[in-house]
Amino acid sequence: IAGITQAPTSQILAAGRRMTLRCTQDMRHNAMYWYRQDLGLGLRLIHYSNTAGTTGKGEVPDGYSVSRANTDDFPLTLASAVPSQTSVYFCASSGGLWNGYTFGSGTRLTVV
Amino acid sequence: GQSLEQPSEVTAVEGAIVQINCTYQTSGFYGLSWYQQHDGGAPTFLSYNALDGLEETGRFSSFLSRSDSYGYLLLQELQMKDSASYFCAVEDRTNAGKSTFGDGTTLTVKP
Nearest-10 Cα torsion for B68, B73, B75, B76: 30
Quote the pLDDT of residue B38: 97
Calculate mean pLDDT across residues A64-74. Answer: 97
| Close Cβ partners of B99 (under 8 Å, ≥ 6 residues apart) | A45, A101, B33, B89, B90, B91
More confident residue, A2 or B72: B72
Give the mean pLDDT of chain B: 93
- Interface test with chain B among A101, A102, A105, A107, by most B beta carbons within 10 Å: A101
Quote the pLDDT of residue B96: 59
Distance from CA of A5 to the nearest CA of B (A): 12
**Per residue in A39-54, pLDDT tens?**
888 899 999 999 999 9
Cβ distance A85 to A107 under 8 Å?
no
